Amino acid sequence: MFDTFKNRLEITGQLKTITALRISAGRSSEPIGSDLPVIKDALGNPLIPGSSFKGAMRSRLESFLRAIVGSDRKLVANPANEDEWSITSKELSDFKETIKNLKSGEKEEHLHQYIVENTDLISHLFGSPWIASKFQVRDLTVNPEYWFGQYQERDGVAIDRDTETAADGKLYDFQVVPAGTVFEFKAIVENAQPWELGLLMIGLHQFETEQIPLGGGSSRGLGVVKLEIDKMDWIDVENDPEKLLTYLQELVSHHTTDSLSSYADGKQLKDIWTHALITHLRENIAKHSTTVQPNS
């Protein structure tokens, strides 16, 4: 079975550091400089990996969903433990064994249906070992208008738990990106269902309201960031070949995507998508819930 283009949401904006930010590049082996530098691009400018942003959002959304639907791995899986994946390697292998005698086309169709029906809610959007991610976040590069090459160095020390003083030989320093640094943000979602877009809206809102820290040192107050979304360009071809052809022609004819008439304003659809998520969650709670008998 092949993917078919259905819709696309392009999100652009800026991510601003409210407090100093530290995303470590690991311990440095250089004789001069910080013991623990931050991740930088080829030009030596600070960089936020798209995977760091995406991972922080995924973790927060998973915690929300566990509070709503419980710990059923078919609804909310644990990516860190294969036994708690919504589809384990053994389950997938066992299912493939049951359909091995089907014709090639039927086999692919049954496998696709099995994966879709058994994949947890988060993995539908963020991906898993058996299903591709619909949500892509580019590495966040620094806005040169707000960057003057000024990193900050902070001192760190390991505390001896017995003496409650600095442990001998455990002094170190680490590098941070200062507060007020602005990064360019761009993310793309393709072929998402309305409830999946609603899940994304919840996650983005957490970053817009400074509720998801990035990087290390969050217990020290580091990593507080604020996302400011400039545009949410939405195209839904609605299985209409003519609409898709018009969109493709506009893409080729325009130098930028800023003025494409095919785009709708995704910000106007946030409430609709969020409502679709709430409805979807309620349906799943009803489907997976069990009746608990009161103690006699």
DSSP string, 15-39: EEESS-B--B------SSS-SBPBP
Residue 90 is predicted with a pLDDT of: 92
pLDDT of residue 37: 79
Strand intervals (E) in 71-194? 135-137, 140-141, 152-160, 165-176, 182-190
Radius of gyration of the chain (CA): 23
Q: Quick one: pLDDT at residue 162? A: 55
Beta strands 7-17 and 182-190, pairing class: antiparallel
Q: Which residues of 205-238 are buried (b: 16+ CB within 10 A; e: fewer)?
A: ebbeeeebbbbbbeeeebbbbebebebbbbbbbe
Give the Cα separation of 266 and 270 in Å (integer): 7
The dihedrals phi and psi of 283, each to the nearest 5 degrees, come to -65, -40
pLDDT score for 95: 94
pTM: 0.85
Widest Cα–Cα separation across the chain = 74
Domain ranges of the chain: 7-85+120-287
Written as tens digits, the pLDDT of the chain (296 aa) is 457 899 999 999 999 999 999 987 645 444 444 557 788 898 989 999 999 999 999 999 999 999 998 888 889 998 888 888 999 999 999 999 999 999 988 999 999 999 999 999 999 999 998 899 999 999 999 999 888 888 888 665 555 555 555 555 565 577 899 999 999 999 999 999 999 999 999 999 999 999 999 998 888 888 999 999 999 999 999 889 999 999 999 988 887 766 788 999 999 999 999 999 999 999 988 887 653 344 43
Cβ pair 123, 61 in contact under 8 A: no
Question: Based on the number of CB atoms within 10 Å of its own CB, is 134 exposed (0-12), middle (13-18) or buried (19 or more)?
Answer: buried
Give pLDDT, residue 292: 39
DSSP assignments along 168-196, one per residue: EEEEEEEEEBPTT-EEEEEEEEES--HHH
CA nearest to 186, candidates 138, 135, 126, 256: 138
